Structure 1
């Protein structure tokens, strides 16, 4: 218990750093948010504190032997283990991959916790500030840059609708002449055709225009337009 005052600054700083990064993810409504990032950072700091304090562990060395500890092995284990948690927030919806930014934020949160655990407060503080800047400020900057949004479109129509395929091709080509078809398959026992396209659009208005046009095509039984957003 006498060591707790020495551990407290690192652990409290880990809670603060994890909270700052997790707040942005919580605000965005991501799967790993405020509490998850705090726990990741705190757990990393706790484990690293334990690793650098191995002299206080309860074990008896064999007579005539010398124990040499290597705290970096704990860091390797933490960063390897956090990979499983990061994998849990990455998911695939159709041809879209979501959660990569959240996984990266968890990974760097664990790294910051390790730095705090060994007492590198300056480096950990710098990493926290830069991480928050990347998640918040650079996101605002990227929105102001001229760019196109990537849309994964999945369209289903009846196989017996003779003109549906040509109409769908025309609709997506008018929106994005450089569109790429990812998938072409028969479903529901061959009664329906499902096509998937990867499109680039200018703004939400173009997406709404495509949705409205697809609703006018005879034979279409469903569609899904999935904007990529990490």
Structure 2
């Protein structure tokens, strides 16, 4: 490997480290399962594989006259396919909530950035890194200032002898700033409890805490659950 190629390799790997680290730090800061180290490793490994394909074409294919022996586009396709399995590992289902989708998308994106750096598309890779960081960090701040709708799966079990009527339960939900939809109900526990289930909507996550406190104070409530939907 010539000195120029060596310096180019070091430059590309360094840029991959910086890009992966920048996006990974934001994920680590927000306590996500795949953070600084994982994003950095994904970006560097993607860059290394594309460097392998690139230099193979330059050196091996040129000297053996075997065109396309290691196609860089196929290498990129293989990388993105493999990264899909890593992204799937970041997605976690907690009750009715699904978390980790943004982290999975970030892993897939940082792999693409590593591929671009490995192929020498520095400007595009820099723009993609800047965009990814802003989407994950700045857009989160924007969402925090927007009037958003939050959804949660809700169920409550009441003593059968003193169960609240649907009208009374809806009044409790409304007082706490929650709007129920798709209300269903029935007897459970061999007829010992009366259960309501619904999808509730609110514009303030704190309303879910108010609802929990309100239900906890009612003697007739035997059990309840509020499972916010994840992003």
- Superposition TM-score, scaled by structure 1 size: 0.83
Tell me which moved more, 161-170 or 203-212.
161-170
Match of 1:13 in 2: 15
Report the RMSD for the aligned CA atoms in angstroms. 2.8
Residue 179 of structure 1 aligns to a residue whose secondary structure is strand
Structure 2 CA distance for aligned equivalents of residues 165 and 4 of structure 1 = 75
Matched, 1:66 2:38: no
In structure 2, the partner of 1:23 is: 25
Aligned-pair CA distance for 1:39: 0.8
Q: Which residue of 2 aligns with 1:112?
A: 113
Residues 65-74 or 178-187, more deviating? 178-187
> Structure 2, unaligned stretches of length 5 or more?
none
Alignment pair present for 1:79 and 2:80: yes
Aligned to 2:138: 137
**Are residue 47 (structure 1) and residue 55 (structure 2) matched?**
no
Name the count of aligned residue pairs: 225
Task: Point out where structure 1 has 5 or more consecutive residues left out of the alignment.
Answer: none
Q: What's the offset of the Cα at 1:101?
A: 0.7
1:78, CA displacement in angstroms?
Answer: 0.8
What SS is found at the alignment partner of 2:224? strand
Q: Secondary structure at the match of 1:35?
A: helix
- Aligned pair in 2 of structure 1 residues 196, 77: CA closer, same or farther (>3 Å)? farther
Counterpart-to-counterpart distance in 2, 1:156 and 1:31:
34
Q: Hey, what does 1:172 align to over in structure 2?
A: 173
Cα deviation digits, residues 58-101 of structure 1 (max 9, x gap)? 9x96xxx7332420001111111111111111122222221111
Structure 1 residues 135 and 182, CA gap change in structure 2 (3 angstroms): farther
Structure 1 pair 179–12 and aligned structure 2 pair: CA distance change class (3 A): same
What TM-score, normalized to structure 2? Answer: 0.83
